[in-house]
Amino acid sequence: MALIDFKCKECGEEFFEIVKNEDENITCPKCSSDKVERIYKGKFYGKGGSCSGSCSGCSGCH
């Protein structure tokens, strides 16, 4: 199991879920939309971490 951060594409709510597998259906706790995307944040993805700042498609760092 993994603790993964998500952001809802409908209402912008950021939340985390404990996910058992990659195929799990995740819904927003605020608006119940299933249009969510995984976001990468925290010390490993921001300044001082291993992020190079040049990943394509990453919206969590810069």
Q: Is residue 11 part of a domain?
A: yes
At residue 60, the 3 state secondary structure works out as coil
Q: How many domains does the chain have?
A: 1
| 58: in domain | no
In a domain, 49, yes or no: no
Domain hosting residue 10, numbered range = 2-38
CB proximity list for 48: less than 8 A, separation 6 or greater: none
Residue 47 in any domain: the answer is no
Q: Is residue 50 part of a domain?
A: no
What one-character DSSP code corresponds to residue 53? S
Q: What is the pTM of this model?
A: 0.66
Name the residue among 3, 9, 4 with its Cα closest to residue 39. Answer: 4
- 43 occurs within a structural domain: no
* 29 assigned to some structural domain: yes
Q: Give the residue, 21 or 57, on which the prediction is more confident.
A: 21
Q: How far apart are CA 1 and CA 7, in angstroms?
A: 19
Residue 48 confidence (pLDDT) above 50: no
Question: Is there a domain that residue 25 lies in?
Answer: yes
Taking all residues of the chain, what is their mean pLDDT, rounded to a whole number? 81
